Structure 1
Amino acid sequence: MDEETSPARPLVEVTPAAAGLIRRLRADHGPLMFHQSGGCCDGSAPMCYQDGEFRTGGSDVLLQSLEVEGVAEPVPFWMSVSQYEVWRHTRLIVDVVEGRGSGFSLEAPEGVRFLIRSRLADA
């Protein structure tokens, strides 16, 4: 399953707070990517990596490449196929809140973490 053939591809957007953090992380680390695995604990949160640092494969779906104002290139947002099956009819909203997330995600040292808010996608 890929972006072109997925029947009800979720829309992904970012809040202004998330966009600001993405711009800061981009300035510090270069091109970025997101992956949301659907695992337990922090695995169900969107993880931000340097683009290409997390290897994606046949068990992942590219939902969308995010256009973030002030970021030179689109930021790909990947999700595991199993998580995609659960979220396929929702609009995903990447937000940021105070608190420590996963040590693997680039925002961890900032004292904040990305999270997903959602609502049903328009039919």
Structure 2
Amino acid sequence: MSDDARDDARDDVPRVELTPAAAELLRRLREDHGPLMFHQSGGCCDGSAPMCYLAGEFRTGAADVLLAELAVDGVAETVPFWMSRSQYEGWSHTRLIVDVVEGRGSGFSLEAPEGVRFLIRSRLVGA
């Protein structure tokens, strides 16, 4: 987790979590593709949705914040969740909940061929 995210996070509140449906989809994607990562850029349209890539396929840098290393039962390695720093500024007081819904997004996320897409639900930290 980055220093910025650590400063804003309460120890007992995860910054990012997965719904059971999202965890199940990540298990399937991991089995089919290999190690995974998330990035949420904050761009328009699907750019504001979390995109799932092969680990390392999306290059992160100083403009990004590592919010979490998501543990998924049945997956050997954690799934890093990155967000653009500018997007994080607006979401820093929320708990991000990665979910999955039916419908295909228009991005390059690995779940697109499955006919589903990841999305973020949120709660204020402490809520």
| TM-score (ref. length: structure 1) | 0.94
- The sequence identity of aligned pairs, in percent, is 78
Aligned residues: 122
Residue identity opposite 1:97 in structure 2: V
Does structure 1 conserve the Cα–Cα contact (< 8 Å) formed by 2:36 and 2:54?
A: yes
RMSD, aligned α-carbons = 1.4
For residues 72-94 of structure 1, the C-alpha deviation after alignment (integer angstroms, 9 at most, x for no partner) is 10000000001000000000000
1:70 to 67, 74, 96: 74
Q: Which residue of 1 aligns with 2:35?
A: 31
Show the 5 A alignment for 1:71-90: 71-90=75-94
Aligned mates of 2:39, 2:45 — CA distance in 1:
14
1:17 to 17, 21, 26: 21
Instruction: Report which of the two has the higher share of helix.
Output: 2
Q: How many angstroms does 1:101 deviate by? A: 1.1
Does structure 1 conserve the Cα–Cα contact (< 8 Å) formed by 2:47 and 2:107?
A: no
Aligned mates of 2:80, 2:62 — CA distance in 1:
16
Aligned mates of 1:56, 1:69 — CA distance in 2:
25
Q: Which residue of 1 aligns with 2:3?
A: 4
Aligned mates of 1:8, 1:89 — CA distance in 2:
7
Residue identity opposite 1:64 in structure 2: A
Aligned mates of 1:43, 1:77 — CA distance in 2:
14
Query: Which consecutive segments of 4 or more residues in structure 1 shift more than 4 A?
Result: none
Residue identity opposite 1:63 in structure 2: L
Q: How many angstroms does 1:4 deviate by? A: 2.9
Higher mean alpha-carbon deviation, 68-77 vs 3-12, is at 3-12
Q: Which residue of 2 aligns with 1:110?
A: 114
For residues 39-87 of structure 1, the C-alpha deviation after alignment (integer angstroms, 9 at most, x for no partner) is 0000000000000000001100000100011111000000000100000
Q: How many angstroms does 1:5 deviate by? A: 4.1
Aligned mates of 2:29, 2:18 — CA distance in 1:
14
For residues 19-50 of structure 1, the C-alpha deviation after alignment (integer angstroms, 9 at most, x for no partner) is 00000000000000000000000000000000
